[in-house]
Amino acid sequence: MTAAEAAALLAAARDHPRLGAYVILSLTTGIRTEEARALRWDHVDLDGDPDARLPVPPSIAVWRSVRPHGDTKTEKSRTLALPQNAVTALREHRKWQAEARLAAGPLWQDTGLVFTTSVGTPLDASHVRRDFRALCKKAGIDGIWAPRELRHTFVSVMSVSGVAVEEIARLAGHASSKTTETIYRHELRPVITTGADVIDRIFISTT
């Protein structure tokens, strides 16, 4: 997605009670859709520790997924700082889930998962795809999109913003930047202009 489409999707996602936080988290952190569906509340820290000697930001620990045996795609688990809009979305989502738990009563299944159905059960991939496409339509984004596009969009935004491919690889949980370059070659900026951009800003007054 373009930056404008991503912004429109984020705006539309804020009003979706069940999938909104899922979309916002995936788009702003680049986690895989199977990692998002397996995320547990005990791996979410929405407060951090700002008073620590080395301040700790709000974060999520991506340690497992819904792949066979609960493994992530690679052995490289990671803890990711959360952007403020993701923190806000997850706080609101936690309120929605608490209300859903009360409404479900004895039907509620306490799985500990962040993203669930209205009775606490894990989200099905097909239901996520359906709701995601409805959100894209609401945001005015043409075409048929899949949740995995959120990760591709994250990589693209990071690259366009000048983030080095090595750092993008760390954020994406890849074992090496070569993996990132192979999988996301269409999303990565082909010409590295960061150095030129910085030099132009520094020396623009001397030319």
List the pLDDT tens digit at each of the 207 positions of the chain. Answer: 888 999 999 999 998 988 999 999 999 999 999 899 999 999 999 999 988 888 889 999 987 666 555 555 545 578 899 999 999 999 999 999 999 999 999 999 999 999 999 999 999 999 899 999 999 999 999 999 999 999 999 998 888 888 888 888 888 888 888 888 888 888 887 655 555 566 566 666 554
Q: Does 190 reside within a domain?
A: no
Residue 151 known to be catalytic = yes
- Specify whether the CB–CB gap between 56 and 83 falls below 8 A: no
Catalytic residue among 18, 22, 78, 184: 184
Catalytic residue of the set 18, 78, 93, 174: 174
Is residue 32 one of the residues assigned to a domain?
yes
Question: Quick check: is 22 catalytic?
Answer: no
Q: Is residue 16 part of a domain?
A: yes
Global pTM reads 0.83
Total domain count, the chain = 1
Q: 207 in helix, strand or coil?
A: coil
Residue 46 lies in a domain: yes
Calculate the CA 96 to chain-centre distance: 19
Residue ranges making up the domain that contains 61: 3-146
Q: How far apart are CA 121 and CA 77, in angstroms?
A: 24
Q: Is 18 a catalytic residue?
A: no
With residue 34 as reference, give the H or E element that holds it: helix 33-38
90 found inside a domain:
yes
- Of the listed 64, 73, 101, 148, which one is catalytic? 73
Q: What is the CATH number of the domain that holds 59?
A: 1.10.443.10
170 as an active site residue: the answer is no
Specify if 159 maps to a domain: no
Q: Rg of the Cα trace of the chain? A: 18
Q: What is the pLDDT of residues 181-191, one digit of tens each?
A: 888 888 887 65
Q: Is 32 a known active-site residue?
A: yes
Given the residues 18, 32, 37, 78, select the one marked as catalytic.
32
Domain-embedded: residue 115: yes
